[in-house]
């Protein structure tokens, strides 16, 4: 439902700003447990499900899949998701590598590849189904907000105001509300661009995800549903990325084939190319009074480990658990005990992953002989020590650490 601009005031208990993968999932998680919210997004609902809007595919961890099932999204995605059966990590031409095989754990796939457009379509469909609990205000641009004693007011550019007990921003890296609240961010640009494209190939991928470390950065070949399509995330220096993006299709595919090799057979390009600047960004705090940060508004990391969306989904699961508890206890959604718990819980996990991805990118995005030798030996050692490898496999599956209930298959 699109709000009528002639109505200048909207009252709600919880407002979520940003209707993307994290914000939409959060609204659905709350609705699944009977909690109403208002979802504000700058785009009309149809725009974000266009095939040209988002060409990425996301690696959904096993625990992330459990969450998506719990909030009603997985039935839309199951037939479109590609199970990740193996992960193979290699360093350029080195003979040493790291191989994760799901059979070593005997617990099903390591995760799933899901195209973002399919996830967006699923979220849009479920929001429509849950329209009695999710009020959508879109398109609407947020101008700022202010807080008073017992509520917060979100100010829209068209003059409308939304009064709520709790404001949650899932706007992304350039969060207007985070800036308005004065929450500082620390971060840097990697001088790298992620070139994203989908390819078709004559040989099957067999559910294997490949990550190859090249001097300019990681080159990921990620299996998509159907067996003969893969999503590429090609990390390239910003200074060279525009050159590759400007190539004709034949030349572009030739560059891809040079990096992929021959194991997938003949390659062809499917759909448009996309590019995304890469950097690290981390908010100094996740809570300011009645404002809470989630997803990329709180943390944005390098895609080297495919964990960006999974961190956002952990934010969702943790926040839903805390807010549902507050509602069941009759507490204010912004009760400081719950919000403090959310900040402590999620900042530690997110900060650890930000540090790991930053170190990995710096370690592998170069061609220094001594560093290359050390990292190759490291890959080989981990690959040959079974208990260590199983720990890293469980980490990739998202089953390590203090998981929220919805990611453990436990009801609230």
What's the pLDDT at 322? 97
Query: For residue range 330-351, what is the model confidence (pLDDT) as tens digits?
Result: 999 999 999 999 999 999 999 9
Identify whether the C-beta of residue 299 lies closer than 8 Å to the C-beta of residue 354.
Answer: yes
Query: For residue range 348-358, what is the model confidence (pLDDT) as tens digits?
Result: 999 999 998 99
- CATH homologous superfamily for 9-79+113-187+280-366? FAD/NAD(P)-binding domain (3.50.50.60)
Identify whether the C-beta of residue 270 lies closer than 8 Å to the C-beta of residue 256.
Answer: no
What does the domain layout of the chain look like in residue ranges? 9-79+113-187+280-366
What's the pLDDT at 52? 85
Residue 81's region, left for phi above 0, alpha for psi from -120 to 50, else beta, is beta
For residues 114 and 243, what is the distance between their CA atoms, to the nearest angstrom?
29
Q: Which residues contact 3 (CB under 8 A, 6 or more apart)?
A: 10, 135, 136, 137, 138, 140, 160
* DSSP class per residue in 199-265: EEESS--TTEEEEEEETTEEEEEEEETTTTEEEEEEEEEHHHHHHHHTS-HHHHHHHHHHHH-STT-
Mean pLDDT of the chain: 92
Query: For residue range 193-246, what is the model confidence (pLDDT) as tens digits?
Result: 999 999 999 999 999 999 998 889 999 999 999 999 999 999 999 999 999 999
For residues 345 and 324, what is the distance between their CA atoms, to the nearest angstrom?
16
C-alpha dist (Å) from residue 160 to 44, 145, 157, 320? 17, 11, 7, 27
Q: Is the pLDDT of residue 77 over 70?
A: yes
Burial pattern 189-212, b for ≥16 Cβ within 10 A else e, equals ebebbbbbbbbbbeeebebbbbbb
What's the pLDDT at 94? 67
- Two tokens at 153? 């007011």
Q: Is 378 helix (H, G, I), strand (E, B) or coil?
A: helix
Instruction: List 278's β-bridge partners, or say none.
Output: 192
For residues 138 and 316, what is the distance between their CA atoms, to the nearest angstrom?
21
Of residues 337, 42, 354, 276, the one with CA closest to residue 177? 42
- Comparing 215 with 289, the larger pLDDT belongs to 289
C-alpha dist (Å) from residue 119 to 57, 74, 77, 366? 9, 9, 7, 34
């Amino acid at each position: 439902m699109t709000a009528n601009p002639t109505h200048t005031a909207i009252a709600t208990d919880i407002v979520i700003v940003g209707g993307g993968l994290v914000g939409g999932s959060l609204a659905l998680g709350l609705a699944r447990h009977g909690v109403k919210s208002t979802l504000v997004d700058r785009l009309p609902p149809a725009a974000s499900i266009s095939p040209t809007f988002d060409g990425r595919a996301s690696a959904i961890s096993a625990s992330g899949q459990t969450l998506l099932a719990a909030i009603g999204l997985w039935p839309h995605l199951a037939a479109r998701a590609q199970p990740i059966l193996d992960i193979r990590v290699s360093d350029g031409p080195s003979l040493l590598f790291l191989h994760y095989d799901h059979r070593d754990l005997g617990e099903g796939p390591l995760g799933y590849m899901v195209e973002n457009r399919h996830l967006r379509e699923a979220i849009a469909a479920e929001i429509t189904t849950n329209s009695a609990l999710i009020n959508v205000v879109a398109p609407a641009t947020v101008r700022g907000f202010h807080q008073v004693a017992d509520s917060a007011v979100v100010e829209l550019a068209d003059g409308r105001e939304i009064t709520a007990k709790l404001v949650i921003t899932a706007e992304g890296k350039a969060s207007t509300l985070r800036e308005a609240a004065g929450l500082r961010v620390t971060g840097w640009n990697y001088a790298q661009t992620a070139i994203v494209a989908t390819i078709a190939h004559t040989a099957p991928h067999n559910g294997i995800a490949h990550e190859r470390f090249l001097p300019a950065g990681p080159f990921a070949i990620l299996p998509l549903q159907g067996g003969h399509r893969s999503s590429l995330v090609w990390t390239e220096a910003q200074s060279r990325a525009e050159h590759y993006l400007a190539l004709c299709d034949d030349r572009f595919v030739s560059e891809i084939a040079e990096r992929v090799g021959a194991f997938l057979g003949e390659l062809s390009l499917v759909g448009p190319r996309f590019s995304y600047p890469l950097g690290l960004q981390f908010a100094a705090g996740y809570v300011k009074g009645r404002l809470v940060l989630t997803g990329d508004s709180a943390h944005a990391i390098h895609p080297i480990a495919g964990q960006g969306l999974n961190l956002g989904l952990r934010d969702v699961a943790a926040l839903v658990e805390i807010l549902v508890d507050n509602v069941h206890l009759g507490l204010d959604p912004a009760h400081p005990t719950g919000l403090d718990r959310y900040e402590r819980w999620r900042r530690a996990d997110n900060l650890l992953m930000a540090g790991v991805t930053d170190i990995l990118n710096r370690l592998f995005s170069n061609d220094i002989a001594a560093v290359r030798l050390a990292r190759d030996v490291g890959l080989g050692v981990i690959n040959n020590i079974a208990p260590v490898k199983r720990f890293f496999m469980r980490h990739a599956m998202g089953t390590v650490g203090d998981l929220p209930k919805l990611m453990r298959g436990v009801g609230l």
